[in-house]
A and B are shown apart, each in its own frame.
Chain A
Amino acid sequence: MEQVPVILNINGREECLTIPPHKTLLEVLRNDLNLTGAKNGCEDGSCGTCTVLLDGSPVRSCLLLAVEVQGREITTIEGLSDGEKMHPVQQAFIDYGAVQCGYCSPGMILTAKAIVESAPSLTEAEVRKAIAGNLCRCTGYTKIVEAVLAVSSQKQATS
């Protein structure tokens, strides 16, 4: 099988790999880099469990080829905390009970981080619209929305 060299910037580190050109970013993250926080929930872009940030914006890593995203900044859930201190969105997901089985959580948290950072303040409707591409079966979405709104208003209060 044909292999191509790629350099990916993931969580602030350069990863040099040789991969078949048809590999998706999700496959490379999970199988080549052991970054299994991004999940494969549907493989057709409809569930959002594979969400990662590409230059700060949420994308479906199952719909992107790894070779397409060279030179871009990729953030996965593993890159969101430095091991000591969690991102406020992660902490809020714990505090507000926004996590049940946790399968949607990595993608949901990354989407939430992106929206919280993209706007000075958020309404419930804006949060719901932003996470509408991330499916969840276990929370009814209520506590997820509460967690994101809490981070957004904290941020507003401290800025």
Chain B
Amino acid sequence: MSEFSVVGKRVPRLDVLPRVLGEAKFSADLSLPGMLHAKVLRSPHAHARILNIDASRAERLPGVKAVVSGKDVLPYKWGVFAYTRDQQLIPKEKVRYFGEEVAAVAAVDEDTAFEALELIKVDYEPLPALFSPEESLREGAILIHDDKPGNVSVRIFVDEGDVDRALAESYLVQEDEFSSPEENYCMLEPYAVLANFDSTGLDIWCPNAGPHMKARPLSNAFGIPTSNVRVRKVHIGGHHGGRSEVSPADFIAALLSKKARRPVKLVYTREENMNCVRQVHAAKTWSRVGVDKEGKITALDMRVIMDGGAYASTGPIAASVAYLMIEEAYAMPNLRYEAIRAYTNKPPRGMYPHHPRTAYGGLEMQLDMLAEKLGMDPMELRLRNTVYEGYVTPTKTVITSCAEIETIKKAAEKAGWKEKYGKLPRGRGIGMACASVLSGFPMGIRGGSGAFVRFNEDGDATVISGVVDNGQGNDSMIATIAAEELGLPREAIKVVTADTSMTPADQGAYSQASTVISGGAVKAAAADAKRQLLEVAADLLEANKEDLIPKDGKIFIKGSPEKWVSMAKVARTALARDHQILGRGDRWPKGDSKREWVSNPRGQIASAFSFGTAVAEVEVDMETGRVKLLSMTAAHDCGYPINPLAVEQQIQRSALEAGPAGVMFEKHMWTDKGQNLNANFTDYWMPLATDVPNIDAIVVTSNDPYGPFGAKEGGLSISVAMVGAVANAIRNAIGVPVKEFPMTPDAILRAIEGNRESESRRGG
């Protein structure tokens, strides 16, 4: 598809210059005249009734301008769905996790705000606290939310085909249980908010994965129109799934500003960011998978118990993604999946690409064990179970463009799979896994994106889109799409994005929909502007507009490269004729609007699906259990890449988060009172540059019929697939599966030891 002039070129992103110069302003870098500084008082109990809050001494401290608590909030509860509204943005009646927001202070400086916190007196009545689904799902357990019987936050259940019969008739069945504690997003930017609430409404700067999705709950929390909440464009230091919702921090800064009638900045510490924004679910997965003699998967029966923490958050989505990503990656005629997301007295858990790692990593280890029993190369087993264009999943989603097989072959070839698998010495291992990721999912009236394109009198263009850039390069992506459609160089496109007062609504960047939906809207708006431009140009060139080709800022007549007019001249001519060139467009996911996460998990879920295969090679010290990652290779089918460099970046990002972080290192630890023991970067080990090898990123091209220029989501499949690849590599190296995540040296030694014991029992 070399007909494109800018799309598909591997070039530097357009949006990074301010970030290397140190000019980029993140929320904590901003200030406004008269700005106050805020601090939050947090619960010292995991579960307690709030009996009384006396803030009078804090209010009298010189320099304190406002104190807020649950007394100041409307009876509004936040929830992603109508049926999951359970979180007051400052709780009124009770606290549900250690560290939950109880009150907050705005003062002339942080030191004063901090001092004031100690003067707030809160009387609590401690309640029994529940720290695991085992405890909270037990009959008779105290209820964390009075209206949620059994402490069940969400239950997802799908049962398609005849799983029991298929498993009974399977040639081989593999059954295992896997477990995992919590993980953290570890975005480098701690949460920070600047809010200014005045008579016109709320102006707010905060990390987000969709400004429009923050404006709505904030307007509800204050009882003001959504259009009176302006969530502003700001640099965002990572999202990774953890910033898709309104945060109590947003609300608290806004409420303090409203009360103090001055701008308020609230900057979280690393500990607050790790504990009080969102965490990643702990989970247990029980999985039974069958194959026939040829290695074709006959059925999967999977049950997942997720520790959701204190609130529902994105629970219905979080509890569903495991079966979706599995059924969209591997063809299987029968599927039963049950997920129970339980409330506990721990911090609330949100979305994360590879959670639950027990489901993805677990199933992939099972597939390798089955391949081994069949005497089959695990790559061959995967090749026999891929999905394809036109394939219908058990829950009735039709797969569109699909280059899954190519991702397997390319990753295997690059990693030297054939030369290595089965031929490595003990202690060395190689593993493979596949995954699929959906580009967007149904979000009702908020699922679409709109865009405008404005031609300026100099002949360049401004794109106005609600898309948000969290660091993945969405601003650069839409500029490239607009440039291609308009026939302008990329540098001639300015972008205005992610400002709820200025940009059209957008679904946000957390459903992997930005390229397909937001990018699609920009392409449509650019096409509309181009149509207007060509009408004027046709007049100037005395040609049919069908014969005109816009390229490099000029409009040519097809077949006569010497006949052209500059876009600047066309834009000015249009203005002289009393016409501004303004294009508009919107784009919507093609999902089945009747599909619903809990009540109706059937029907088309998304308009496009990306595919990926990861291969990892490890060396395990059999005496210490220490794992050294020798190589990571990842191939991702992103449709037609808008910018291959940006796709590589996302592939490499995903590989780090899934492999070393997700399999080898990361977990939270707790005291018996529910206090997080390692909410900091010293005790929570995220991978360093020395922990990982170079990550080989392979961009696999297909052509999606719905995505702009054939593009779809760019890299996330690897954040799932690399979990299975590293898990399988470790299994391959030591000869047994490690069923607890993360696979720390002690977990690996336990697995080796357990195997030795069972072997000696068998032998003896």
Task: Please report which residues of chain A, range 78-100, place their CB below 8 angstroms from some CB of chain B when the two chains form the complex.
Answer: 78, 80-81, 86, 90, 93-95, 97, 99-100
Bits for B14-52, please: 1 = Cβ < 8 Å to A, else 0: 001111111111101100000000000000000000000
Quick check: A81 and B652 within 8 Å, CB to CB? no
Nearest CB in chain A: distance from B532 CB, A: 34
Task: Please report which residues of chain A, range 40-68, place their CB below 8 angstroms from some CB of chain B when the two chains form the complex.
Answer: 40-44, 46-47, 49
Nearest CB in chain B: distance from A36 CB, A: 4
Partner of B270, one of A42, A138, A142: A42
Partner of A97, one of B13, B237, B654, B655: B13
A41-B470 Cα distance, complex, nearest whole Å: 16
Partner of B189, one of A77, A103, A145: A103
Across the two chains, which residue of chain A brings its CB closest to B190?
A41
Q: How large is the interface on B (under 10, 10 to 19, 20 to 34, 35 or more residues)?
A: 35 or more
Residues of B within 8 A of A129 (CB): 689-690
Quick check: B686 and A135 within 8 Å, CB to CB? yes
Nearest CB in chain A: distance from B715 CB, A: 10
Across the two chains, which residue of chain A brings its CB closest to B645?
A97
A78-B695 Cα distance, complex, nearest whole Å: 31
Majority-rule SS of A interface residues: loop
Quick check: A40 and B16 within 8 Å, CB to CB? no
A140 at interface, CB cutoff 8 A = yes
B628 at interface, CB cutoff 8 A = no
Quick check: B22 and A46 within 8 Å, CB to CB? no
B688 at interface, CB cutoff 8 A = yes
A78-B24 Cα distance, complex, nearest whole Å: 11
Known: A41-B190, A144-B689. A76 touches B22 (CB 8 A): yes
A105-B21 Cα distance, complex, nearest whole Å: 9
Quick check: A101 and B189 within 8 Å, CB to CB? yes
Nearest CB in chain A: distance from B663 CB, A: 14
Quick check: B694 and A142 within 8 Å, CB to CB? yes
Quick check: A141 and B23 within 8 Å, CB to CB? no
Nearest CB in chain A: distance from B232 CB, A: 17
Quick check: A99 and B20 within 8 Å, CB to CB? yes
Quick check: B686 and A44 within 8 Å, CB to CB? no
Residues of A within 8 A of B695 (CB): 140, 142
Task: Please report which residues of chain B, range 625-681, place their CB below 8 angstroms from some CB of chain A when the two chains form the complex.
Answer: 645-646, 648-649, 652-657, 680-681
A132 at interface, CB cutoff 8 A = yes
Quick check: B681 and A100 within 8 Å, CB to CB? no
Quick check: A101 and B22 within 8 Å, CB to CB? no
Quick check: A109 and B20 within 8 Å, CB to CB? yes
Quick check: A36 and B25 within 8 Å, CB to CB? yes
Known: A41-B188, A101-B238. A81 touches B21 (CB 8 A): yes
Quick check: B680 and A140 within 8 Å, CB to CB? no
Bits for B168-204, please: 1 = Cβ < 8 Å to A, else 0: 0000000000000000011111100000000000000
Quick check: A139 and B470 within 8 Å, CB to CB? no
A136 at interface, CB cutoff 8 A = yes
Nearest CB in chain A: distance from B63 CB, A: 11
Quick check: A135 and B238 within 8 Å, CB to CB? no
Nearest CB in chain B: distance from A97 CB, A: 5
A124-B472 Cα distance, complex, nearest whole Å: 25
Residues of B within 8 A of A127 (CB): 689
Quick check: B652 and A99 within 8 Å, CB to CB? no
Task: Please report which residues of chain B, range 249-269, place their CB below 8 angstroms from some CB of chain A when the two chains form the complex.
Answer: 267, 269
Quick check: A44 and B12 within 8 Å, CB to CB? no
Quick check: A97 and B270 within 8 Å, CB to CB? no
Across the two chains, which residue of chain A brings its CB closest to B634?
A140
Quick check: B187 and A131 within 8 Å, CB to CB? no
A71-B692 Cα distance, complex, nearest whole Å: 39
A141-B703 Cα distance, complex, nearest whole Å: 29
Quick check: A40 and B28 within 8 Å, CB to CB? yes
Quick check: B188 and A135 within 8 Å, CB to CB? yes
Nearest CB in chain A: distance from B613 CB, A: 17
Across the two chains, which residue of chain A brings its CB closest to B185?
A137
A136-B687 Cα distance, complex, nearest whole Å: 9
Quick check: B694 and A102 within 8 Å, CB to CB? no
Quick check: B23 and A37 within 8 Å, CB to CB? yes
A155-B283 Cα distance, complex, nearest whole Å: 50
A135-B186 Cα distance, complex, nearest whole Å: 10
A35-B646 Cα distance, complex, nearest whole Å: 29
Quick check: B22 and A138 within 8 Å, CB to CB? no
Quick check: B649 and A137 within 8 Å, CB to CB? no
Quick check: A140 and B237 within 8 Å, CB to CB? no
Across the two chains, which residue of chain A brings its CB closest to B643?
A97
Quick check: B682 and A135 within 8 Å, CB to CB? no
B235 at interface, CB cutoff 8 A = yes
Task: Please report which residues of chain A, range 134-159, place their CB below 8 angstroms from some CB of chain B when the two chains form the complex.
Answer: 134-146
Quick check: B270 and A102 within 8 Å, CB to CB? no
B65 at interface, CB cutoff 8 A = no
Residues of B within 8 A of A104 (CB): 188
Residues of A within 8 A of B680 (CB): 42, 44, 46
A95-B190 Cα distance, complex, nearest whole Å: 27
Quick check: B187 and A101 within 8 Å, CB to CB? yes
A80-B476 Cα distance, complex, nearest whole Å: 25
Residues of A within 8 A of B13 (CB): 94, 97, 99
Residues of A within 8 A of B24 (CB): 102
A142-B634 Cα distance, complex, nearest whole Å: 13
A42-B682 Cα distance, complex, nearest whole Å: 9
Quick check: B16 and A102 within 8 Å, CB to CB? yes
Quick check: B656 and A141 within 8 Å, CB to CB? yes
Nearest CB in chain A: distance from B697 CB, A: 8
Quick check: A141 and B689 within 8 Å, CB to CB? yes
Nearest CB in chain B: distance from A21 CB, A: 14
Chain A CB within 10 A, most for which of B13, B190, B470, B655: B190
A145-B190 Cα distance, complex, nearest whole Å: 25
Across the two chains, which residue of chain A brings its CB closest to B186?
A137
Known: A100-B471, A141-B689. A40 touches B652 (CB 8 A): no
Quick check: A103 and B652 within 8 Å, CB to CB? no
A135-B666 Cα distance, complex, nearest whole Å: 14
Partner of A102, one of B471, B654, B657, B681: B471
Residues of B within 8 A of A143 (CB): 648-649, 652
Quick check: A132 and B689 within 8 Å, CB to CB? yes
Quick check: A44 and B681 within 8 Å, CB to CB? yes
**A-B residue pairs, 7 tightest by C-beta:** A37-B22, A101-B471, A102-B19, A77-B22, A140-B652, A103-B237, A36-B29
Known: A36-B22, A41-B189, A95-B12. 6 other contacts (CB 8 A): A39-B28, A39-B188, A93-B20, A138-B653, A140-B656, A142-B697
A interface residues, Cβ below 8 angstroms from B: 30, 35-44, 46-47, 49, 76-78, 80-81, 86, 90, 93-95, 97, 99-106, 109, 124, 127-129, 131-146
Q: List 16 A-B contacts (CB under 8 A).
A: A37-B23, A41-B270, A46-B682, A77-B21, A80-B22, A94-B17, A97-B12, A102-B471, A103-B471, A127-B689, A137-B185, A138-B188, A138-B472, A138-B653, A141-B689, A142-B694
B interface residues, Cβ below 8 angstroms from A: 12-13, 16-26, 28-29, 185-190, 235-238, 240, 267, 269-270, 470-473, 645-646, 648-649, 652-657, 680-682, 686, 688-690, 692, 694-695, 697
